Structure 1
Amino acid sequence: MSLRNKVSLIGRTGKEVEIINFEKGKLAKVSLATSDFYTNALGEKVEETQWHNLVVNGKLADIMEKYVTKGKEIAVEGKIQYRTYDDKEGVKRYFTEIRVEELVLLGAN
């Protein structure tokens, strides 16, 4: 059995797409909100929202730049990527993002 790093998400973007241009292409970054619902001990319906940082490059970055705006519903498939960096004070920061490999535009907006 082959194990693979793969994630699928459907949600709404939380901000406008940020585009970073490089000499050999561009990178698109955006946050995605996904929600789960459950009933708590009091019988109340509760919504739990998770935020995911998406990173997109190549032709998908062009599509994101052109068609994705804040609040747009999208489906993505990709892999989880973990990074670390030292901030200005020398403190190590940990960052998790989804490296998008497939994108589907959903909804009307």
Structure 2
Amino acid sequence: MNALRNKVQLIGRLGQDPEIVTFADGNKMAKFSIATDDSYKDKNGQKVERAYWHNVVVKGGLVNVVENYIAKGQEIALEGKLTNRSWDDKDGNKRYITEILCNELLMLSK
């Protein structure tokens, strides 16, 4: 049996312009969120639409593509892996976030 793999593929629209972070060593990171949607019929037969938001992080050379060509509202397809991290907020509370570490990106709209 093959080992389980951590792979995510999504198609969605950017909720805001990407945030580009430049580190002291000159490396960059891009962060943004994309919305995907789903619909179903409830018990009364009414169509219910729902949006899901996904946090995305891009590192390496792909950041240049994000920085120069990706903007709010644009539809993209991406592939990556799920990551989790935690931090303490200003009040000392532990916070958690799940992000997609993107390694492939395809622009679907202009």
Q: Smaller-chain TM-score range?
A: over 0.9
Counting only pairs closer than 5 Å after superposition, residues 11-90 of structure 1 correspond to structure 2 as 11-22=12-23, 23-90=25-92
SS in 1 for 2:35: strand
Q: Secondary structure at the match of 1:101?
A: strand
Q: Structure 1: where are the runs of 5+ without partners?
A: none
CA distance in 2, matches of 1:18, 1:96: 17
Superposed CA offset, 1:28-58 (max 9, x none): 0001000011111111111111100000011
User: Any idea what SS the aligned residue of 2:71 has?
Assistant: coil
Percent same amino acid at aligned positions? 52
| One-letter amino acid of the counterpart of residue 94, structure 2 | K
Structure 1 residue 24, shift from structure 2 partner: 3.8
1:90-109 to structure 2, matched below 5 A, reads 90-107=92-109, 109=110
1:53-78, Cα deviation, whole Å (9 max, x unpaired)? 00001111110111110000000100
TM-score computed with the length of structure 2 as normaliser: 0.94
Unmatched 5+ residue regions in structure 2? none
Deviation digits for residues 62-101 of structure 1 (CA, Å, limit 9, x no counterpart)? 1011111000000010000000101111100011100001
Quote the Cα distance in structure 2 between the aligned partners of 1:97 and 1:58. 16
Residue identity matched to 2:17:
E
Large movers: runs of 4+ above 6 Å: none
Q: Provide the aligned length of Structure 1 versus Structure 2.
A: 108
Please tell me the residue identity of whatever aligns with 2:8: V
